Amino acid sequence: MRSERDFVGYGRTPPVFDWPGGNRLAINLVVNYEEGSEYSYAFGDDRQENLGEWGVKQFPPGVRNLANESFFEYGSRVGFWRLLDLFERHQVPVTFGVCAVALERNPEAARAIRAAGHEVNAHGYRWEEHFAMEPEVERERIRLAVESIRQTTGERPYGWYCRTAPSINTRALLVEEGGFVYDSDAYNDDVPYRVEVAGKSHLVVPYTGDVNDSHYWAAHGYETDFLAYLTDTFDVLFEESRRWPRMMSVGLHMRMAGRPGRIKAVDAFLRHAKARPGVWITTRLAIAQAFRDATVPGA
């Protein structure tokens, strides 16, 4: 039975190539910069984010959750700089998946990301659900995100990633926009792959929902397990990379991994990964470009 969904993928024959430098395992850390773009009564929204350090706390309609607002503020006020310093110490480039409005609220952070040479990809105009948007609304939000990021960083984004899930129109709208090299709105493989969208070849660089610090807020007790899960994931992919090239994504948030007691896990993981041969820690854009160059002759 044929379906528009692909349950086969590469199967037993993944693409065989080396990442740049003869490396076999590519690692990308994504810092989701959402703080300042979340739903908030203070921004004039008709709803607010209620998921925070203490789980989901429902407030009466129209009553601001000031505690949760401050959890988000910690991310851009403190967590961002702590993570930026960590990446500088390890000399690793990462991807900042930014909600455009969030960077508008913190121009110094935008300048610091650019000065450090990290990639900026688009995580939406705001931290909002594209799956619920009508096509014309979504098209405009994508346009706004691109232009806003261009203004705050000096360069347009080449990658895209929606909050939670894309709409059935998102990928076609990205191809229509014309400037995106890849999107990460999928969780279904360990290496990039191509899909045909509107008659054009489009690159997908899959993301992760499990190797992700969001579990700090979503599951109690995950704090002590995060480093173990990072290293276990790395170790399995590292062993597999002896046969096939592999990619590992690590999802981080400034208000979560940027806390003092949690950043140690990221630090220890980077030390663990950097001690192994054949490992390339880089940006999603670099992974997309390297995959394209390695698998498409003359690209």
**pLDDT tens, position by position, 175-220:** 999 999 999 999 999 999 999 999 999 999 999 999 999 988 876 6
Q: What is the largest CA-CA distance in the chain?
A: 59
> What is the domain partition of the chain in residue ranges?
21-295
Q: Is the dihedral of CA 141, 83, 252, 114 positive or negative?
A: positive
pLDDT in tens, 128-159: 999 999 999 999 999 999 999 999 999 999 99
Position 221 scores a pLDDT of 56
Query: Any bridge partners for residue 183, and if so which?
Result: 160, 204
Q: Mean per-residue pLDDT for 22-26?
A: 97
Long-range contacts of 276-279 (CB under 8 A, 24+ apart): 276/25, 276/238, 278/22, 278/23, 278/24, 278/25, 278/238, 278/241, 279/23, 279/24, 279/25, 279/27, 279/238
Can you tell me the distance from the alpha carbon of 140 to that of 23, in angstroms, rounded to the nearest whole number? 40
**What's the rounded Cα separation, in Å, for the pair 124 and 198?**
22
Structure confidence by residue, pLDDT tens digits, 96-116 = 999 999 999 999 999 999 999
Three-state SS for 25? strand
Phi, psi of 11 (to 5 degrees): 60, -130
Mean pLDDT across 81-94? 98
What would the CATH number be for the domain defined by 21-295? 3.20.20.370
- The DSSP symbol for 23 reads B
Per-residue pLDDT at 224 exceeds 80: no
With left for phi above 0 and alpha for psi between -120 and 50, is residue 164 left, alpha or beta? Answer: left
Tell me the pLDDT tens digit for each residue of 155-171.
999 999 999 999 999 99
- String of DSSP letters for 194-221: EEEETTEEEEE----SSSBTTHHHHSTT
- Pairing state between β 95-98 and 119-122: parallel
